[in-house]
């Protein structure tokens, strides 16, 4: 079990130098303080046209500032193509080829996990041509010989309907899904091969969204149960903001990420009895759930009393 951030962390505009690298190092410190086991530098993903040396330097700076492991986040070739060409995915294969030297450079520098974020890939669920383009580009990008853990993040809401082979025939070691904007993504998760990791984006970020740990713990254990995957191949994360979601404050995001981190630690507890003590009893007691309030069952009297 582990916990991580999907997407970006709002910049603290009150901090000096908030527009430059100093702000990102402040973000590393802030993300460390949430208790997440795996963080990024909180910034926007590096793109295919960013020089590999600059991407490596950015990751090294964050890694040095963090007490724990730091992932590098790159914008995937399909989303990069759409951004560069007003919605077209033409050129996605070429952008994938441009990204490969960056991945190789990160691996050589000691980065152990590279996340490829595809926030603009939801059309793969409904458009066979888009799905084919996606599969082709990512097959060029990742072949399993990079020497890193490659993770594919699909923070695009619902991608259920994507042919499983489009995703799981790729050489990614893990996949991150948005389970708030796309709860039907569970149908894809249950078809993921046993040896692939699943990162559950199950914590909403907008103010007023659910703050319970119980749903996150349930998500972790359900993902672990699919195909006998086990908790060792499961992570928890926030769900990225939807297009119509109000932008939460930096403090609100950090608060929600602390909940994700806490839920990850609870989900990893081996003793069911100990786990139940760490959760709201109404979430683990069937009788209480039926009554809508916590009502522990009476103990039966022993014979002779």
Segment 234-259 mean pLDDT: 91
Position 17 scores a pLDDT of: 52
pLDDT-derived band at 238 (thresholds 50, 70, 90) equals very high
Stated pTM of the model: 0.88
Asked if residue 103 lies in contact with residue 114, where contact means CB atoms within 8 angstroms, the answer is yes
Asked if residue 181 lies in contact with residue 157, where contact means CB atoms within 8 angstroms, the answer is yes
Instruction: State the DSSP string of 236-297.
Output: EEEPPPPTTSPPPPHHHHHHHHHHHHHHHHHHT-S-HHHHHHHS-HHHH-HHHHHHTS--PP
Q: Is 70 helix (H, G, I), strand (E, B) or coil?
A: strand
Segment 231-258 mean pLDDT: 92
Q: Which residue, 272, 260, 162, is CA-closest to 220?
A: 260
Position 84 scores a pLDDT of: 75
Segment 93-109 mean pLDDT: 97
- Res. 263: pLDDT tops 80: yes
The domain locations on the chain are 2-291
| C-alpha span between 249 and 13 (Å, rounded) | 11
- Res. 285: pLDDT tops 50: no
| C-alpha span between 205 and 7 (Å, rounded) | 11
Asked if residue 165 lies in contact with residue 139, where contact means CB atoms within 8 angstroms, the answer is no
- Res. 295: pLDDT tops 60: no
pLDDT-derived band at 275 (thresholds 50, 70, 90) equals low
Rounded to 5°, the CA angle 292-296-300 comes to 140
Rounded mean pLDDT of the chain? 87
Segment 253-281 mean pLDDT: 81
Of the candidate ranges 134-138, 213-217, 243-247, 278-282, the one whose mean pLDDT is the lowest = 278-282
Could you tell me the CA-to-CA distances from 154 to 157, 193, 201 in Å, in that order? 8, 17, 10
Asked if residue 115 lies in contact with residue 138, where contact means CB atoms within 8 angstroms, the answer is no
pLDDT-derived band at 294 (thresholds 50, 70, 90) equals very low
pLDDT over 70 percentage in the chain: 83
Asked if residue 204 lies in contact with residue 212, where contact means CB atoms within 8 angstroms, the answer is no
Asked if residue 197 lies in contact with residue 235, where contact means CB atoms within 8 angstroms, the answer is yes
Q: For domain 2-291, give the fold.
A: TIM Barrel (3.20.20)
Burial 266-303 (b: 16+ CB within 10 A, else e): bbbbeeeeebeebbeeebbbeebeeeeeeeeeeeeeee
Segment 69-83 mean pLDDT: 95
Position 183 scores a pLDDT of: 95
Position 90 scores a pLDDT of: 74
**115-169 per-position pLDDT tens digit:** 999 999 999 999 999 999 999 999 999 999 999 999 999 987 899 999 999 999 9
pLDDT-derived band at 287 (thresholds 50, 70, 90) equals very low
Position 20 scores a pLDDT of: 52
Q: Is 18 helix (H, G, I), strand (E, B) or coil?
A: coil
Could you tell me the CA-to-CA distances from 132 to 20, 115, 144, 167, 235 in Å, in that order? 38, 21, 20, 10, 28
Helices and strands in the chain, H and E counts: 12, 7
């Amino acid at each position: 079990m582990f916990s991580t951030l999907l997407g970006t962390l709002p910049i603290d505009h009150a901090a000096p130098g908030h527009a430059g690298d100093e702000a990102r190092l402040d973000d590393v410190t802030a993300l460390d303080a949430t208790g997440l086991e795996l963080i990024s530098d909180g910034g926007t993903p590096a793109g295919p046209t960013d020089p590999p040396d600059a991407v490596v330097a950015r990751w090294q700076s964050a890694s040095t500032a963090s007490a724990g492991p730091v992932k590098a986040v790159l914008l995937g070739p399909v989303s990069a193509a759409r951004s560069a060409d007003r919605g077209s995915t033409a050129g996605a294969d070429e952008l994938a080829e441009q990204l490969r030297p960056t991945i190789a450079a990160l691996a050589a520098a000691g980065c152990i996990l590279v996340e490829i974020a595809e926030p603009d890939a939801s059309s793969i669920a409904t458009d066979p041509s888009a799905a084919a383009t996606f599969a082709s580009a990512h097959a060029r990008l990742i072949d399993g010989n990079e020497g890193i853990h490659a993770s594919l993040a699909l923070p695009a809401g619902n991608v259920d309907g994507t042919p499983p082979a489009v995703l799981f025939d790729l050489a990614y070691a893990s996949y991150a899904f948005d389970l708030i904007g796309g709860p039907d993504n569970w149908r894809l998760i249950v078809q993921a091969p046993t040896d692939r990791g699943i990162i559950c984006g199950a914590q909403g970020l907008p103010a007023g969204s659910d703050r319970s740990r119980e749903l996150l713990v349930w998500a972790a254990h359900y993902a672990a149960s699919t195909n006998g995957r086990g908790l060792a191949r499961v992570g928890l994360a926030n769900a990225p903001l939807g297009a119509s979601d109000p932008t939460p404050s930096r403090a609100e995001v950090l608060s929600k990420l602390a909940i994700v981190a806490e839920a990850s630690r609870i989900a990893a507890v081996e003793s069911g009895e100990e786990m139940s003590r760490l959760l709201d009893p109404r979430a683990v007691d069937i009788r209480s759930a039926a009554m809508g309030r916590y009502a522990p069952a009476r103990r039966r009297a022993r014979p002779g009393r």
